[in-house]
Chains A and B, each alone.
Chain A
Amino acid sequence: MAGRNALLAPAARRLNRRELGAALALTLIAAIDLTSPASFVTRSFAQTPERIVAAGGVITEVLYALGLQDRLVGVDSTSQFPAEALKDKPNIGYVRALSAEGVLSLRPSLVMAITSAGPPDAISLLNEAGVRLARIPDDMSAEGVVTKIEAIGAVAGAAEPARRLAAQTKARFDELATLRTALPAKRRVLFVLSLQNGRIMVGGRNSSADAIIDLAGGINAAAAVEGYKTMTDEAIIAAAPDAILMMRNSGNHDTATEALFALPAFSQTPAAAQRAHIVMDGLYLLGFGPRTPAAARDLMAALYPGAAIPPLKTAAAP
């Protein structure tokens, strides 16, 4: 018995030695390469980038609006408008979980990324690879949208059309501001992101929903909470919204108005009394791109049906 035990021991010892050797080799290889990480940088700053990768849905939207889609060689998974973007272009994945090699495989001459794009490791590898990288701030305000369009156009080598699109967008935001001043008493809007398992998730202050409600001349009824949070039935009754705003096709089926106002949380609200249930396309509503003034205007028209809100006059395309 003991003899058999001894038979096994040399095999195990050999293996351990092999492990040790492999382990040492790994450390050595790692140490060697640390000395020369910057030696691969070959930068080329072309004036007009021919192969653009967009990381951020709003960037894709603006590039399409500027007619630059032929130069777009890759988009991220949030690039859902226009719908053909994700059908026609390779998908580089979710904007906050990009893969450096995946982006490089598209041989981009310019990567345009909103500031929240990441992870930092992938961004720094792209930098190391000498890819021209432009960060676009993703601001959720009228001024933010205008500067965003100008910034995207400037780095894409289409500054002039972008200026026109930005000026138009600004004019439409100004028009919207004028419409806001003429509104009757402001209505309280509750943005409901989801209604799953009886948990009601609403858009609080500093959320994209809060920003669009503000632009449309409403008051966010959920301003007591920060970001997207679940709210209790009682809190919703206390918030007394005049209208419930929801997204169309946000993964679940649309909630029917009758079913919504049958829920205890909503049945006691002023919104239920007026059957004020507004359903809009999520990307249109919360995209914060060139379509935002129109989205805010549509929301305004839905919120104040008695006020006869006119359509925006300024032309849309560049």
Chain B
Amino acid sequence: MTLAARPGELAALSSLAAFAAGRRRQAVLAVVGVTLLCLVLAIVATGQGAVQIAPARVAEILMAKLSGQGELLTGRDALVVLNIRLPRVLLAMLIGAALAISGALMQGLFRNPLADPGLVGVSAGAGLAAATTIVLGDRLLAGTGFKLPFAALPVGAFCGGLISTLALYLIATRQGRTSVATMLLAGVALGALAGSLTGLLAFISDDRQLRDLTFWSLGSLGGASWAKLVIVAPIVLPLLLAVPLLARGLNALMLGEAEAYHLGLPVQRIKGLTILLVALAVGASVATAGVIGFVGIVVPHLIRLAIGPDHRLLLPLSALGGATLLVGADIAARLIVAPAELPIGIVTAAVGAPFFLWLLLRRANHVDL
């Protein structure tokens, strides 16, 4: 279905288009700038770390890997570059992109600049499931001789995110129509419920489990590995591929749900797809890296300030911006207290919270978004 061919929609979107086209130069600049920044940071992140490896040696190892020369690929340097740093940089990019684009999608769907997967309880649901695995997993298996499988926590968190989103969707859908307002309110309620149950688990947990919970809730990319990347990539990449399908729909939704429906848009399908993709992406990132706050709010806002609210540019640029922010934050997390490591959630929140406050203050004399 070619939506652009409908004259009604074109007319309705023309004001948006004018707004966006006026910022065309800025958009091109933003795309080039963010791409370059992301590349530079990725190179820095691969070259820098607690282990000192000369840039030439890093390049040598990477070239050897690409050309298949085996002899250079043994030893500590190769292990650090290929098995610790490289998967970590790539995981940071994927998760950053997933979180930022999820934020942008949620904000578009709810027509609310403050919406974020955290707000509608997706993160809280994933968090509850993870807490359940940490606290009750050992207890249920105690005495059976089995140990909790390594993958239990990520799989649990992922299912938690998905279940909470599904519950949200079922609550807010009546006769095949989803009310975005009900969903927002139900999300807040479900988030509070998940939060209270997580608190209950924290209460019954022992010292060790409590510390695990705390560190997990601060997020870390420390566990990055190729195996994890292979699990996350197939979940996040479809989200990136689906962006072109959703951008026009979300643009139309900015006019209002009824208006978008009367433009002939499959509003229900757009809402469903958006929610499903966000649940998958957030579930996957929470499962692999814990809770990393503020990326979903900060990045889409920054992009909107630079290039305007057109989702066709906003969504892909948010993904790129999220990847950039998280790679940058991870460099800071790894280097500030080396050889130890800061939880990355601390870094993103330390950057994100002041920025968010600045944004709120700025909104007083700024029209919208």
A interface residues with partner B (beta carbon < 8 Å) = 1-2, 4-5, 7-9, 11-13, 15-16, 18-20, 23, 26-27, 29-31, 33-34, 36-37, 39-40, 42, 74, 77, 90-94, 96-107, 116, 118-122, 125, 128-129, 206-207, 226-229
Contact = CB atoms under 8 A, between A and B. Distances in A.
A16 B244 contact: yes
B158 to A, nearest CB: 17
A8 B76 CA distance: 49
Given A122-B222, A207-B207, A129 B51 contact: no
A11 B240 contact: no
B14 A2 contact: yes
B220 A97 contact: yes
Interface size class of B (residues with CB under 8 A): 35 or more
Interface in B217-254: 220, 222-227, 229-230, 233-234, 237, 240-241, 243-244, 247
A90 B310 CA distance: 49
Contacts of B299: none
B10 interface: yes
Interface of B: 4, 10-11, 13-14, 17-18, 20-21, 24, 27-28, 31, 35, 49-52, 65, 70, 73-76, 78-80, 82-87, 90, 93-94, 150, 203, 205-208, 211-212, 215, 220, 222-227, 229-230, 233-234, 237, 240-241, 243-244, 247, 310, 312-313, 316-317, 319-320, 334, 337-341, 343
* Residue of B20, B28, B223 with most chain A CB atoms under a 10 A cut-off: B223
A207 B205 CA distance: 12
A8 B312 contact: yes
B339 A12 contact: no
A15 B316 contact: yes
B223 A104 contact: no
Contacts, number: 196
Given A42-B74, A229-B203, A101 B313 contact: no
B75 A42 contact: yes
Given A7-B24, A9-B312, A23-B240, A39 B343 contact: no
A200 to B, nearest CB: 15
Contact of A19 (B74, B203, B240): B240
A99 B247 CA distance: 39
Contacts of A118: 212
Lowest 3 A-B CB distances belong to which pairs?
A: A93-B340, A102-B339, A121-B223
B240 A20 contact: yes
Contacts of B208: 96, 116
B235 to A, nearest CB: 11
B254 to A, nearest CB: 15
B43 to A, nearest CB: 15
A16 B31 CA distance: 11
A92 B18 contact: no
Contact of B233 (A30, A42, A122): A30
A11 B316 contact: no
B79 A226 contact: no
Given A8-B24, A91-B340, A94-B215, A119 B316 contact: no
B339 A90 contact: yes
B226 A34 contact: yes
10 contacts: A4-B21, A5-B4, A16-B243, A34-B226, A40-B73, A97-B215, A99-B334, A103-B339, A119-B222, A121-B223
A1 B14 contact: yes
Nearest to B20: A8
Given A19-B240, A19-B319, A96 B339 contact: no
Contacts of B337: 91, 93
Nearest to B338: A102
Contact of B341 (A16, A23, A99, A116): A99
B83 A128 contact: yes
A12 B319 CA distance: 13
Contacts of A7: 21, 24
Nearest to B28: A11
A30 to B, nearest CB: 4
A128 B340 contact: no
Contact of B334 (A4, A5, A101, A207): A101
Given A8-B17, A100-B222, A27 B310 contact: no
A92 B340 CA distance: 4
A129 B50 CA distance: 15
Given A19-B243, A97-B215, A40 B75 contact: yes
Given A102-B50, A104-B50, A105-B51, A5 B17 contact: yes
